[in-house]
Chain A
Amino acid sequence: MARHRTSALRVATVVLGSAADADDVVQVASERAWKAIAGVDPERGFKSWFLRVVANTARNHRRSGWRRRAAELRVAAHPASASTTDPESNTIGHAEREAVVAAMNRLDADARLVIALRHFEQLSEREMAEILACAPGTVKSRLSRAMSRLRTVLTEGAVPGNGGLDE
């Protein structure tokens, strides 16, 4: 499950709002994906298709019962590897990472997901549209709204919208 497993885990974690069940969700999504592999549109990327299965599985899991509470995403103090690919990232401190993730925790799951797809996974609007099952233009507006809400939380501490609890 190599190539896309990390992305799948991140997407599941962001949608769930916690790493607690992400591994199980990715496992279930992987089994579903295998069974439906013949349905992959060759005109589209496998990754987008797979992450869409993961996101939908995570949504279903979150809606299935008890996990209706504020998100509790966290960042690790240390990276998984010492390798460096982005010089700019070396100027970013743990406090900043904690601040943005804490702010994301105060957004709803859909806002977290659209931000994560763009900024965590570095996906294009077209790829995001395939995962979110909407038009690229809709992705743009949803991302704009989500980022605006994120900035509001970051700068004012306010919680726009539903207060960050998962719907």
Chain B
Amino acid sequence: MSDEWLADDSMADGRPADRPTGDDSGVESWADDRRLSAVLASAGRYLVVEASADGADRPAPLVRGRRTEGRRRLLAAAVTVMVMVGSVVSIAPARRAVGGWLRAGRIDISIDPDAHVDQYQLPSFIEGATPIDPARSAEFVGRPPPDVTATSLGEPQGWWTVPEGGVLLTWDEGETSLWIVTTDAHQSGMINKLVNSAGAVTDLPNLGDGGFAVRGTHVMQTGHRRMTAASVVAWQEGGLTFRLESSSDLDLLTAIARSIDAT
């Protein structure tokens, strides 16, 4: 994951440099408050915070650290029982953006009250999609995708594939879309969403595995691109990950999502 908004606010402070004066103990400098503070701040950036199997010292990482598959499974289990409705994170001090992160299913969600998610001039999900013959859709999903014509969406108007894989079905000239991709290909951290508050994210425990909704405009980033997205309902079922996006009412989107038979 290479999210600009996820870049940690800590970083290494450059090359280790020789001390200007004194011996290695630095005794003469410890009485200087400013100097001691600077050394402490520097030490914090070099502090080894991750034990490694190879014995190599690792200071504070700039990005997400390692995580075992077992922990990922534990994490996913915890998320499915989590209720995120109604929580709001706001108030950002001027010198530092206050935010947080959540995870829903295998999609990371970042919270940043300062992010102007509705003002970014970013492309939509469908931009960059490539049209395909519906008869080839199974090639991109690994199996024939579920038939959605029985839902209120009706027959898809467009069939596409996207850089992230899978197929993208569209209606209303792309205003409503359903992305279907195999869950195996949908690795943890593949998708990151940026929202202004945790209150924009709603857990949908009765929608597949790890179902959730994001209300309103937000930013979505994958390993391939960064986009602006409208309201989204996403879930996993039958070995597939579904992402239904539309500017329509979120309750309607959720009802449509529930009516899709993934089997």
Chain A residues within CB distance 8 Å of chain B: 1-7, 9-10, 12-14, 18-20, 22-23, 27, 30-31, 34-35, 37-40, 42-47, 50, 73-86, 88-97, 99-101, 115-116, 119-122, 147, 150-151, 154-155
Contacts and interface: CB of A to CB of B under 8 A. Distances in A.
B36 A93 contact: no
Contacts of B110: 2-3
A95 B29 CA distance: 13
Contact of A2 (B3, B15, B30, B78): B3
Contacts of A95: 19, 24-26
Interface stretch (B81-89, B118-126, B245-253): B81-89
A76 B59 contact: yes
Contact of A73 (B47, B61, B92): B47
Contact of B46 (A7, A37, A79): A79
12 contacts: A1-B103, A6-B10, A18-B51, A27-B74, A37-B100, A40-B88, A47-B99, A80-B62, A83-B12, A83-B14, A91-B19, A95-B24
A62 B183 CA distance: 38
A159 B78 CA distance: 43
A95 B235 CA distance: 52
A12 B51 CA distance: 13
B14 A38 contact: no
Contacts of A50: 100
B208 to A, nearest CB: 19
A90 B13 contact: yes
Contact of A34 (B31, B38, B58, B79): B79
A151 B30 CA distance: 7
Given A5-B8, A6-B62, A94-B16, A35 B45 contact: no
B44 A120 contact: yes
B172 to A, nearest CB: 34
A92 B257 CA distance: 57
B17 A80 contact: no
Contact of A83 (B11, B90, B198): B11
Nearest to B98: A45
Contacts, number: 257
A14 B49 CA distance: 9
Interface of B: 1, 3, 5-20, 24-27, 29-31, 36-51, 57-67, 71, 74-75, 78-79, 81-93, 96, 98-103, 108, 110-111, 198
A77 B44 contact: no
B198 A37 contact: yes
B96 to A, nearest CB: 8
Contact of A151 (B36, B66, B67, B81): B36
A79 B58 CA distance: 8
B61 A80 contact: yes
Contacts of B41: 86, 89, 119-120, 122
B57 A74 contact: yes
B44 A10 contact: yes
B89 A46 contact: yes
Contacts of A75: 43, 46-48, 57, 59
B105 to A, nearest CB: 13
B13 A84 contact: yes
Contacts of A86: 13, 38, 41-42
Contact of B90 (A5, A42, A82, A120): A42
Contacts of A97: 39, 42-43, 46
Contacts of B71: 27
B12 A155 contact: no
A89 B42 contact: yes
B80 to A, nearest CB: 11
A23 B78 contact: no
B40 A115 contact: yes
B78 A3 contact: no
